[in-house]
């Protein structure tokens, strides 16, 4: 399940009913996977609300780790050439990139060229400078276990134009782009390794666990959930999902993220037993 707009309500909390139903699922041996565009350190506190082992797909599939240990299960990095090309073009066009890196154990998640508290980052970190590091030139860190290059803007059309130019570069064969809206922040253009998605990370989990996609029930609300929803045995777009996701989804929940959508759907499917 995705976090924002899916498992989390508009207050960025897991409701009591969602927690109870999902904890019951864990207790009954059902695997629980949080699949998010967030970095692992941002998703980890939510995983830790549950007793037991929870798998976390972070950075839209670039990293797969387990909770509560934080052990890395799999990872995919953007190539130095692709990261250099993406950073160079964005900076040339006047954008301020954020570079997500896989340095969780070192206490670093994001590299950037000015403090993340600058207005141009639109409160991206909630004002928290922890786990960020200011560097002189991001181009010098394009091979530093790069996970995602991220651009922010309050104007979606600006990112659509940047996306168009990024996809016209020769290196575009190595990466893909996703534009989402971060609630309370801005629009976000992310550049990731091509072929990597939340679903590819989930597939890694399935392979390791000797399971298959037929037994996966997934929930999401944004376009970065598309591969996950369309490839799962049962993929549910949330009632509050973006229209383009609901149009192609096989299933749509009757309830939004503010109406315990995940818990209510699982209860209606009678997948769990309660004493």
Residue 275 has pLDDT above 70, yes or no: no
pTM of model > 0.85: yes
pLDDT of 79-126, one tens digit each? 999 999 999 999 999 999 999 999 999 999 999 999 999 999 998 887
Question: What confidence tier does 255 reach under pLDDT thresholds 50, 70, 90?
Answer: very high
pLDDT of residue 128: 83
pLDDT of residue 141: 95
Beta bridge partners of 191: 149, 177
Structure tokens at 169: 């570069």
Exposed/middle/buried for residue 207 (C-beta within 10 Å: 0-12, 13-18, 19+): exposed
Residue 180 has pLDDT above 90, yes or no: no
> What whole-number distance in Å separates Cα of residue 256 and Cα of residue 21?
16
pLDDT of residue 126: 79
> What whole-number distance in Å separates Cα of residue 219 and Cα of residue 80?
33
Closest CA to 120 of 161, 86, 158, 152: 152
What order do you get walking across the sheet with 33-35 strand by strand?
A: 33-35, 54-58, 63-67, 72-75
Question: What confidence tier does 43 reach under pLDDT thresholds 50, 70, 90?
Answer: very high
Average pLDDT, the chain: 94
Query: What integer is the mean pLDDT of 144-167?
Result: 96
Phi, psi for residue 141 in degrees, rounded to 5 = -120, 20
Taking the C-alpha atoms of 231, 64, 77 and 166 in order, what is their torsion angle to the nearest 10 degrees?
A: 50
């Amino acid at each position: 399940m995705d976090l924002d707009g899916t498992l989390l309500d508009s207050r960025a909390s897991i409701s009591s009913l969602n927690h109870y139903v999902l904890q019951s699922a864990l207790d009954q041996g059902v695997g629980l996977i949080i699949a998010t565009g967030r970095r692992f350190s941002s998703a980890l506190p939510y995983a830790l609300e549950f007793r037991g082992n929870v798998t976390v797909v972070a950075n839209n599939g670039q990293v797969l780790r387990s909770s509560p240990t934080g052990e890395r299960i799999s990872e995919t990095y953007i190539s130095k050439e692709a990261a250099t090309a993406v950073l160079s073009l964005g900076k040339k066009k006047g954008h301020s990139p954020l570079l997500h890196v896989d340095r969780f154990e070192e206490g670093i998640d994001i590299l950037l060229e000015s403090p993340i508290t600058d207005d141009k980052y639109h409160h991206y970190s909630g004002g928290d400078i922890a786990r960020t590091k200011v560097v002189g030139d991001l181009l010098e860190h394009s091979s530093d276990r790069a996970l995602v290059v991220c651009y922010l803007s309050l104007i979606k059309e600006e990112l659509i134009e940047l996306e168009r130019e990024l996809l016209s570069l020769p290196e575009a064969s190595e990466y893909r782009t996703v534009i989402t809206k971060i609630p309370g922040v801005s629009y976000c253009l992310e550049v990731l390794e091509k072929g990597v998605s939340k679903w590819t990370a989930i597939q890694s989990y399935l392979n390791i666990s000797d399971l298959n996609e037929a037994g996966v029930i997934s929930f999401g609300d944004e376009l970065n959930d598309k591969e996950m929803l369309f490839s799962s045995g049962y993929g549910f777009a949330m009632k509050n999902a973006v229209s383009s996701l609901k149009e192609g989804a096989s299933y749509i929940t009757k309830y939004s993220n503010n109406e315990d959508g995940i818990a209510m759907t699982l209860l209606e499917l009678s997948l769990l037993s309660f004493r």
